[in-house]
A and B are shown apart, each in its own frame.
Chain A
Amino acid sequence: MARASAEGKLILKSVLREVSRVERVILDAAGSCGFGGADQFAIKLALEEALANAIKHGNAGDASKSVVVEYHIDPDQARISVQDEGSGFDPKCVPDCTLDENLEKPNGRGVMLMKTYMTDVSYNKAGNRVTLIKARSESAAP
């Protein structure tokens, strides 16, 4: 039986090994709220991309800086925000990784993947907090 909702706030250091702990908490909550396999894949992917951007780019890998993750998940949707301590960036300035001339480049796909797999992706004005929203797929109903 799906849980009514789950929410929380997680603060992690800017080190990659912290990512799996955060993912586990959020994916467990999503599972409890009825999010199935394809939705869990999408949330894990978008969350990894958001956390990688926050740790590597926003906080420049400085372990003394923190990343704050807030989530609210209910049976209709998952809303997750990821904020770093960096000066932010303009997501409109990220090159389109699906253009032929960019296909062989090994990086630059994170923002595209978040937008593709989430129902909605938005940034705060500073560009250092991304909010991911994933509506639960009908096929994943408990």
Chain B
Amino acid sequence: MTVDQLQIDIRPDDRGTVVSLRGLATISHAEKLRAALSPVVQKGLGRVVLDLSCLEFINSDGLGALLEFRKNLAAVGAQLRLCGVRGQIADLIRKTRLFLIFQIYDDAELALSA
């Protein structure tokens, strides 16, 4: 596993917003994650895609932040879609049964255009 770092990139797209998480969403990063996602909710623009293809680790607090993000987006009429869910992260989503809650697509392009 790489060093304990989480990089959050937010890219506006004419069809919505793509948020990419890269690295490790550890216990130390939950507040950083929530703080970074909050402005995306305030914009509340249509489709919001969370790209997890470069995410190596997430714990229950991080999953909680994603669930709060989804709920807050829904409250302003925006939809959260996940993409790039694979490897250990896919296994975690399966074991927690969160695949029943999140809309999941193969990649960001599909998630934006579906």
What 10 A-B pairs have minimum CB-CB distances, sorted nearest first? Answer: A106-B64, A109-B60, A106-B67, A48-B59, A41-B88, A98-B97, A110-B60, A20-B4, A48-B27, A106-B68
Chain B interface mostly: helix
Interface size of B in residues (CB-CB distance below 8 Å): 23
Q: How large is the interface on A (under 10, 10 to 19, 20 to 34, 35 or more residues)?
A: 20 to 34
Contact check, B68 vs A112: say whether CB atoms are below 8 A apart: no
- Contact assessment for A116 and B28 in the assembled complex, using a CB-CB cutoff below 8 Å: no
Which of B54-82 touch A at CB < 8 Å?
A: 57, 59-61, 63-65, 67-68, 71
The distance in angstroms between the C-alpha atoms of A87 and B48, with both chains bound, is 43
- A52 interface contact, C-beta 8 A: yes
In the complex with contacts A16-B28, A17-B28, A52-B61, A105-B1 CB distance below 8 A: no
Taking CB atoms, residues of chain A closer than 8 Å to B4 are 20, 23
* Nearest CB of chain A from residue B83's CB, rounded to whole Å: 20
Q: What are 11 A-B contacts with C-beta separation under 8 Å?
A: A17-B28, A19-B28, A23-B4, A44-B1, A44-B57, A48-B59, A52-B61, A98-B96, A106-B65, A107-B64, A109-B96
Question: Which DSSP category, helix, strand, loop or mixed, fits chain A's interface?
Answer: helix
Q: Is B101 an interface residue (CB 8 A)?
A: yes
B36 at the interface (CB under 8 A from A): no
Interfacial chain A residues near B35, Cβ < 8 Å: none
Q: What's the Cα separation between A23 and B57 when bound, in Å?
A: 13
Complex: A98 Cα to B98 Cα, angstroms: 8
Q: Given the known A-B contacts A41-B57, A45-B57, A100-B100, are A109 and B28 also in contact in the complex, defined by CB atoms under 8 Å?
A: no
> How does the 8 Å CB contact mask read for A98-138 relative to B, with 1 for contact and 0 for none?
10100111111110110010000000000000000000000
